[in-house]
Structure 1
Amino acid sequence: MREIVFDTETTGLDPSQGHRLVQIGAVELIDFLPTGREYMTLINPMRPMDPGAAAVHGITDAMLEGQPIFDAVIDDFLAFVDGANLVAHNADFDMKFLNFELKKIQRPVLPKTRFVDTLEIARRRFPGQKLSLDALCKRLGVDNSMREHHDALLDCQILAEVYLELRGGRQHGLGFQAGGRTKKNLATNGPAFDKPIRRDPRPHAPSEAELAAHQAFIKRLKSPIWEH
């Protein structure tokens, strides 16, 4: 199953108030595990950055000078996510901005049925608990120590691990990497292998001493059930 974890950064909180996308990040998953394929772009919003937003993600107006506008990057993003469901934390926020930008350039919007919201999954699993991405990392044992600011690609990488844990952990892939990659020898933690290691079967027949000990134990039983 192919899915795309994605995240956005923006100039503010509401596209209806003129705020725009400034960054899109995405990570490809196969059967809940990252394949190594990633996407990231900065976007020139053609407007000033809100100071509150800049404090959250650290992206400044100077960093966005000379970056492509949304119209110039959307085809690459849509090609990257083609056919896959889109996984996001608080997906309504990212969907709202992405579809606003698509409408603005008269492109078809992405239907809500394509979005998987990890916030909704977390609410069902941990009702009444703090469910920010940082809070879920702490609860699920996911390392987010490198997350000083919000960053679309870094947040996707972290969310991919959180999503895997929310879906039940690595038993989905038996600890193997996705995408048909070489499996690792889990028994020895050794180098990768393409074919299973064959070992001679171990003997399981009891020894003479074990048989004698078993018979002695049987004789000590009082009125065993098989004699009735």
Structure 2
Amino acid sequence: MWEDLFDREVDERSVQFVRPADTDRPTWAVYEGGNYLGTVNAQPTGDTVMWRSQTTRESHRQLDDAIRALRRPPSWPREREQVSQWARRRLDDDSLIALDVETTGLQNAFAVQIAAVARGGTVVFNEYVNPDADIEPGAAAVHGITPERLASAPAFGEVLPALTDVLHGRTVLAYNMPFDRDVLERELVRHQGPVAAGQWLARCRWEDVMEPYAVWKGLWSVKRGAYRNQRLGGSHDAVADCRALLAKTEQMAAPAPPSHW
């Protein structure tokens, strides 16, 4: 299904693929603007194809991601090691806790589920919340939380004392932290006012895992001039997503094999 010679746009920049003349295997040399980036080959795995880069020794589900890996700047190994050090410092923090909030939608959202999980995987907080607001159909399709399920759930103000006990004085990890923090701030403003909301949030140390994980993965977008953000990969249940967040942090903290690069 793939030609010996074909072009493909990756992040709005043309990439050329050339199969070497001495093989009929699914292997292509990759060029961009006349410059050789590396070599990729297609490896069928069941009903899918994994794209393996002979240059980076990595496999990717998407061909575009294999190209983004080939485009990494020379500074990436150093930046990745900095991220690993950051992750190890976070995991050495005894106050560390992972937080996830499922919401009514993406814009001006309110909470429908809030969970917090300690590093060992212990669930220290998990509450469904009646948002007193409409749940967008798209959001319900993702997390499966419906208005009927929340009909008898407590309001945010009722779970706030327990949430305060869990989070205050802790280092709080979140994935796309500004979004979850904004949801909590919106709830706090609604129940306590803006001044009290700011004071409440200031009693936590907030850390975002999404940007460090993007650097750790190292898929460079020439369009954005930055590493592409990655999906968390959780099930959109707040507890499961907290555990996925901690697993990604532990993955980043592990040292890379000496020969990996």
Q: Per-residue deviation at 1:158?
A: 1.5
Superposition RMSD in Å: 1.9
Residue aligned with 1:53, SS: helix
| Residue equivalent to 1:165 | 251
Q: Distance in 2 between matches of 1:90 and 1:111?
A: 18
Q: Which has the larger radius of gyration?
A: 1
Q: Distance in 2 between matches of 1:113 and 1:154?
A: 22
Residue aligned with 1:23, SS: strand
Q: TM-score, normalised by structure 1?
A: 0.61
| Residue equivalent to 2:134 | 48
Provide the identity percentage: 32
| Residue equivalent to 1:10 | 103
Residue aligned with 1:108, SS: helix
Q: Per-residue deviation at 1:35?
A: 5.7
What per-residue deviation string (whole Å, max 9, x for no partner) do you get for residues 5-63 of structure 1?
A: 00001111122xxx31111011012xxxx162421000001122110100110000100
Letter in 2 for 1:125: W
Q: TM-score, normalised by structure 2?
A: 0.53
Q: Distance in 1 between matches of 2:118 and 2:158?
A: 22
Higher relative contact order (CA 8 A, sep 6+): 1
| Cα distance change, pair 157–77 in 1 and its aligned pair in 2 (3 A) | same
Q: Distance in 2 between matches of 1:88 and 1:24?
A: 12
What per-residue deviation string (whole Å, max 9, x for no partner) do you get for residues 157-204 of structure 1?
A: 1211111112237xxxxxxxxxxxxxxxxxxxxxxxxxxxxxxxxxxx
Alignment of 1:68-217 (within 5 A): 68-106=154-192, 107-109=196-198, 110-111=201-202, 114-127=205-218, 128=220, 129=228, 131-134=230-233, 147=235, 150-168=236-254
Structure 1 unmatched ranges of 5 or more: 135-143, 170-228
Q: Which has the higher strand share?
A: 2
| Residue equivalent to 1:22 | 112
